[in-house]
Amino acid sequence: MKKLLILPPILVGAALLYYIVSAKQPLEQIEVSEQTQYVRTVKVEPTDFVPKIIGFGVVKPARVWNAVAEVSGQIDYIHPDFKRGAILQKGSEIARISTQDYDFAIEQAEANRRAGEAKLKELIITEQNNRSALTIEDRALDIKNQEFNRAQILVDRGTASQSTLDEASSSLLVQEQRVQELRNSLKLLPAQITAQKEQISVYKTQLAAAKLDRERTSIRLPFDARISEVNVEVTQYVGVGTTLGKADGIKTAEIEAQIPMAQMGQLGNFFPINRQQVEISANFLRKMTEIIGLRAIVRLRTGFRDVEWQAEVVRISDTVDPTTRTVGIIVAVEDHYLTVVPGQRPPLVKEMFVEVELRANSVPDRIVVPRAALHEGQVYTVGADNRLQIKPVKVDVVQGNLAVIAEGLSPGDQIVVSDISPAIDGMLLKTAADEKLTKELLAEASGKGPVR
């Protein structure tokens, strides 16, 4: 009887299963439709493209002045603002060496000059006196000759003794000697006067050198500058060649921007230069800059704003960095201190790390696409019947957020800018034009938008 008690539950379960099976509806067949992918698109249109190159470098002053002592002595004055970081005007006396020794040297040189000029006057007066004396002695010589001739006649007549003739002859010889001495003296005086004039020139040179040395005791700034180093104190003795300090010019700042050689080559693709246009000469860079229209913008990126300065390309570095394979393009910014706004626009101070953007003339009728739209040399486009068409393209240059397409796209093509995964050629698309991205793309291509 206990074994028979299991039959009622089995019968109830079987009846319940029969009811469920008999009440079940047949499966409904659903027709499978093709899946549509929603994408954003950008329409391709030819536009003006401004080639840009981005490099980075540190700011250096275009002029650096070392305050070197040209004379020796003890420092007796230092400008109160001759300190690191201070800005001083051109002509400011930053230090002065004691002038006492050089004042003595000037006095001695002036005394020597005055003595030399006095000696010259003496020689000139002596020459004048000797000429006057020679005139008198010549007249006396004529008289002595006449006396000798009369004595000779009287001796010949026998009316005078031989002693009278000998006395006249002796007197004539003495007078001739006097005349000869004066003439010899007059011959020597011009040479003595010339020598004295040269000696006076030496004294004048010594005086000028002494005055120049005294001027050199005052060390003054040759241009408006910012002091970068101070190496001297009051009462300190300095010798010739001692560096008292250093100053950086504030008018012009230079930046040597390191540019990858591959980017430099990209400019050649847009602006091929031949020898007929630019001859390799001292004016090569200037002519090349005119043809390309190369201009520079120096940009300081801070945490809350970007500050820009217009710059000029001045020269190219003489070496290529063997490690980074970059070439240095040196740009200059003029009068950057005149545009300083405290708290908003700083000056270009030494060792500041900045970005340098080089721009060339715009190139017309170029097809540009967002850089993100490139997929390993391919671009997703919207083909016939809104179906995905994958096109291989040839990229001319990649710049910032965009890429310039040389081959593979035509004006009017719609570029898919959404990320499709997986991307299957021929898949059905539903498109929406991204007007904002289109405006940003055109702005960046024309040089009005940012390059990141």
Number of neighbouring beta carbons within 10 Å of residue 420:
16
pLDDT at position 97, please?
Answer: 95
Q: Which CATH architecture has domain 101-215?
A: Orthogonal Bundle (1.10)
- What are the structural domain ranges in the chain? 37-49+365-445, 52-60+251-359, 64-97+217-249, 101-215
Q: Helices 100-157 and 162-215 sit at what angle, rounded to 10 degrees?
A: 170
What pTM was estimated for this model as a whole?
0.69
Query: DSSP letters along 136-192, please?
Result: HHHHHHHHHHHHHHHHHHHHHHTSS-HHHHHHHHHHHHHHHHHHHHHHHHHHHHHHH
364's CB contacts (< 8 A; 6+ apart) are 46, 48, 49
What pLDDT does residue 452 have?
44
> If one looks up domain 64-97+217-249 in CATH, what number appears?
2.40.50.100
Q: Cβ distance 437 to 44 under 8 Å?
A: no
* Series of mean pLDDT values for 10-residue runs along the chain (452 residues): 63 68 59 77 90 91 94 94 94 94 94 94 91 88 87 80 83 88 88 92 94 95 94 93 94 92 71 54 62 86 87 85 84 92 89 91 89 90 90 88 89 90 87 89 79 46
Among 413, 367, 412, CA closest to 390: 413
Q: Phi and psi for 268 in degrees, rounded to 5?
A: -65, -30
> Whose CA is closest to 66, among 248, 254, 218, 239?
248
| Residues with Cβ within 8 Å of residue 39, at least 6 apart in sequence | 382, 416, 417, 418, 420, 429, 430, 431, 432
Between the CA atoms of 159, 165, 166 and 172, what dihedral angle is there, to the nearest 10 degrees?
160
**Residues 6 or more apart whose Cβ sits within 8 Å of residue 329:** 55, 256, 257, 259, 296, 313, 316, 317, 356, 358
Closest alpha carbon to 54 in 299, 348, 311, 350: 299
Task: Give the CATH number of domain 37-49+365-445; options: 1.10.940.10, 2.60.200.20, 2.40.420.20, 2.30.42.10.
Answer: 2.40.420.20
- Cα–Cα distance between 391 and 272 in angstroms, integer? 29
52-60+251-359 and 101-215, same CATH topology: no
Task: Report residue 400 as tokens.
Answer: 């910032």
3-state secondary structure at position 42: strand
For domain 52-60+251-359, which architecture applies?
Beta Barrel (2.40)
Residues 123, 128, 133, 139, Cα dihedral to 10°: 150
Task: Tell me phi and psi for residue 308, to 5 degrees.
Answer: -125, 150
The reported pLDDT for the residue numbered 451 is 47
Pair of tokens at residue 267: 């400019």
Which of these, 374, 375, 391, lies nearest to 383 by C-alpha position?
391
188: tokens are 């020597």
What SS3 class is residue 362? Answer: coil
CB 444 within 8 A of CB 52: no
Alpha helices (H) along 216-311: 261-270, 284-292
Nearest to 251, CA basis, from 332, 180, 185: 332
Cβ-Cβ contacts under 8 Å for 278 (sequence gap 6 or more): 284, 287, 288, 291
Closest by CA to 396, choosing from 261, 259, 267, 294, is: 267
Residues 6 or more apart whose Cβ sits within 8 Å of residue 327: 258, 259, 261, 264, 316, 317, 320, 321
Long-range contacts of 372-379 (CB under 8 A, 24+ apart): 372/401, 372/417, 373/42, 373/403, 373/415, 373/416, 373/417, 374/398, 374/403, 375/423, 379/405, 379/408, 379/409, 379/415, 379/416
Share in percent of the chain as helix, strand, coil (round to 5): 40, 35, 30
Single out the residue of 351, 413, 400 nearest to residue 371, CA to CA. Answer: 400
| CA nearest to 163, candidates 151, 174, 172, 173 | 151
